[in-house]
Structure 1
Amino acid sequence: MNLVVLGIRGVPAAHGGFETFAEKLSLHLISRGWTVTVYCQEDGDGEIYESYWEGVRRIHIPVARKGAAGTIVFDWRATWHALRQPGLILTLGYNTAVFNVLQRIKGQPNVINMDGIEWRRDKWGLVAKTWFWLNERVGCWVGSHLVADHPKIKEHLATRVREAKITMIPYGGDEVLQADVSRLIPYGVEPQGFSVIIARPEPENSLLEMVRAFSLKERQHKLVVLGNFAPNENAFHRQVMEAASDEVLFVGAIYESSIVQSLRFYSRFYLHGHRVGGTNPSLVEALGASCAVIAHDNHFNRWVAGPEAHYFSDESSCAQLFDQLLDDEQAVERMRSASRAKFQERFTWPQVLQSYEALLTQWLPDDR
């Protein structure tokens, strides 16, 4: 039972949701007797080499170019190299699905997780949106089977291919029952004395609306914003920071999981402004930490967070939620309990990984 994973930067996870998922899935499958190979992107020049991590076979591909161009080069080299690997391919994301035509031609089974609707994101220009739109179409065609991480993503993909070709499996998360309160000390905040935003600072993630809503008046409360802001280089970043009151703390991007867990676990509210996408990993992780969720009102967020979360559509309605909920202990406790229940219902890793294993087993090559 051989699985080859394409589409991510590698394991162990150090970059994002897909890497975390790949790490969890790889370790689960290895414990179940599978052989798992993951392609890993490395900076610099040199030859392709192999290593092992926790039983995972890693194929390292050095790439000298940086940014999106480097990722495209890596995806091409990894996809080409994977043609010589036995077993089943799992491709995470469709951003370079045009390369997966190679698997289609060779007859390698390839299950593709189609991620979100990338070409709808505001941050991309016309060329990038066209590239993503094209690759979404190609991915639907060349994939042996497709995974959607949200019912609305499945509905969207079903306008491209027959519904029987799509399986809906959401993203998973860890349940957080306790966290290190000392991790709050560097930020000068106390448990329940702050709310938190964890998001890339892009217009589609409603950062400006949430910061403005919070900053309309003094709250006797802090808003901690995690994200990589570069106000000297990005006009939107500068606009968000200029709109913030003194009670808003921009703490940068934090990748140490224990710190992020503590900020979620001890927050008053977790604010989620994402307007585009499927099952967002950060929102799932907030449910796993029993956060009281205030989210942008759209069908993606409502399915994940459920009816007991509170939703805003614009700056004004977001400000009203702060006014209504900030001092309402009973409402906060109801929201936290509902988040815990929703997480247990459909987003635990055992549920997600077992669903993936069942699907991947169906698509293993017959010659195994």
Structure 2
Amino acid sequence: MKSLYILGTRGIPARHGGFETFAEKLSLYLVSKGWSVTLYCQEDGNGRSWESDWCGIRRIHIPINRKGAVGTVLFDWLATRDALSQDGLFLTLGYNTAIFNLLQRLKGQTNVINMDGIEWRRDKWGPIAKTWFWLNERAGCWIGNHLVADHPKIKEHLATRVSSDKITMIPYGGDEVLSADPARLEPYGVEPGQFSVIIARPEPENSFLEMVRAFSCKPRRHKLVVLGNFTPELNPYHRQVIDAASDEVIFPGAIYEAAVVQALRFYSRFYLHGHRVGGTNPSLVEALGAGCAVIAHDNHFNRWVAGPDAAYFKDEAACSELFDLMLTDDAAVKRMKSASRKRFQERFTWEQVLREYEDLLTRWYPTK
């Protein structure tokens, strides 16, 4: 039986983000194929680690009494230290603490690293954090036995560090949504087709301010639902976004109930995606899977994922112009929705993605 150990996520079942969802999907898939899968989980608290079984997956729970980035770094260190005593293949999701994986390389363990996005380019990080991420990206490229890039442009970027033969491109996956409960919309006062939606972390590089201003510059006779964890009393950027919004913009906060998020995507007129940095973003893939008509920031990351039939904007003025043109163009919306489903089926189903991961991990499984 092949044994895989997964590092770099906060744990499963998924509650936090894209990597956790991927880790859950991959673990369940591999277990169904006869693999033994162990995954490290970060827990709040003190004391010794413990183990549990979830759907046939072995989980090693490591309690951490620190919050934020410091707690994550400590968890990664303790998980890597424990992994040194294990036998099998290792998959590390993210390179943020890749320097720790040097110990595995020195011990002769085989470690495949998913290099995620170009974290050090994100606006939200200060100079110290950007330097840390830049150094760990370099370290991950050297230390990993093989690398996974989730986007062709990420592979091109990594190939400036190491040979492209050391990198396999496998994108993120998503679930197809063919129906949703319209009653889930009622708490937000919106009706199918009469609103558009933004679902992302409210950070500058995700273009929240530009999109909200573009929508709010004139009456639209339409609603814009902006999902995200806004703390305007603590975050000046969040305050800017909220102050820029017209009374047609709704801020329901962060919503983690999958059925609600699916309904908001499925029944939206447009899904707005303002990400300027990153590879294959999970939220954009999920929008394609829900058949959303996509309006996205114009960059090579988004264009490869959403395809030529999405609508793109370079700046606030261009985004506003798209609203002017497309809020009344039903034929264009229908065409865009159909193109999103086609693009999703071409490249982003979990069946495709997980099969490609199994093939890669099988090729890299250590032989003794």
Q: 1:252, CA displacement in angstroms?
A: 0.4
CA distance in 2, matches of 1:231, 1:211: 15
CA distance in 1, matches of 2:97, 2:57: 24
**Match status 1:350 vs 2:351:** yes
Q: 1:156, CA displacement in angstroms?
A: 0.2
* Amino acid across the alignment from 2:178: L
SS for the counterpart of 1:94 is coil
Return 5+ residue gaps in structure 1 as ranges.
none
CA distance in 1, matches of 2:173, 2:203: 24
CA distance in 1, matches of 2:47, 2:53: 19
Q: 1:71-110, aligned counterparts within 5 Å? A: 71-110=72-111
Deviation per CA, 1:270-309, whole angstroms, max 9, x where unpaired? 0000000000000000000000000000000000000000
1:20 maps to: 21
* Amino acid across the alignment from 2:259: S
Deviation per CA, 1:167-226, whole angstroms, max 9, x where unpaired? 000000000000011100000000001000001111000000000000011111000000
* Amino acid across the alignment from 1:218: P
Q: 1:46, CA displacement in angstroms?
A: 1.2
1:38 maps to: 39
Q: 1:310, CA displacement in angstroms?
A: 0.2
**Match status 1:307 vs 2:278:** no
CA distance in 1, matches of 2:211, 2:20: 28
* Amino acid across the alignment from 1:30: V
C-alpha RMSD of the superposition: 0.4
* Amino acid across the alignment from 2:211: M
* Amino acid across the alignment from 2:118: I
Q: 1:104, CA displacement in angstroms?
A: 0.5
Q: 1:86, CA displacement in angstroms?
A: 1.2
How many residues were matched structurally?
Answer: 367
1:167 maps to: 168
Q: 1:250-329, aligned counterparts within 5 Å? A: 250-329=251-330
1:186 maps to: 187
SS for the counterpart of 1:60 is strand
CA distance in 2, matches of 1:87, 1:11: 20
The runs of 4+ residues in structure 1 deviating greater than 4 Å are: none
CA distance in 2, matches of 1:139, 1:253: 32
CA distance in 1, matches of 2:309, 2:86: 47
2:3 maps to: 2
SS for the counterpart of 1:69 is helix
TM-score of the superposition, structure 1-length normalised?
A: 0.99
Q: 1:85, CA displacement in angstroms?
A: 1.2
Return 5+ residue gaps in structure 2 as ranges.
none
Q: 1:67, CA displacement in angstroms?
A: 0.6
Deviation per CA, 1:292-336, whole angstroms, max 9, x where unpaired? 000000000000000000000000000000000001110000000
2:122 maps to: 121
CA distance in 2, matches of 1:208, 1:144: 41
Q: 1:265, CA displacement in angstroms?
A: 0.2
Deviation per CA, 1:207-264, whole angstroms, max 9, x where unpaired? 0000000001111100000000000100000000000000000010111111000000
Q: Percent sequence identity over matched residues?
A: 75
CA distance in 1, matches of 2:150, 2:73: 23
CA distance in 2, matches of 1:2, 1:181: 43
SS for the counterpart of 2:179 is coil
Deviation per CA, 1:123-159, whole angstroms, max 9, x where unpaired? 1000000000000000000000000000000000000
CA distance in 2, matches of 1:163, 1:255: 37
Deviation per CA, 1:85-117, whole angstroms, max 9, x where unpaired? 110000000000000001100010000000000
* Amino acid across the alignment from 1:127: I
2:208 maps to: 207
CA distance in 1, matches of 2:238, 2:204: 9
CA distance in 2, matches of 1:23, 1:180: 25
CA distance in 2, matches of 1:103, 1:176: 40
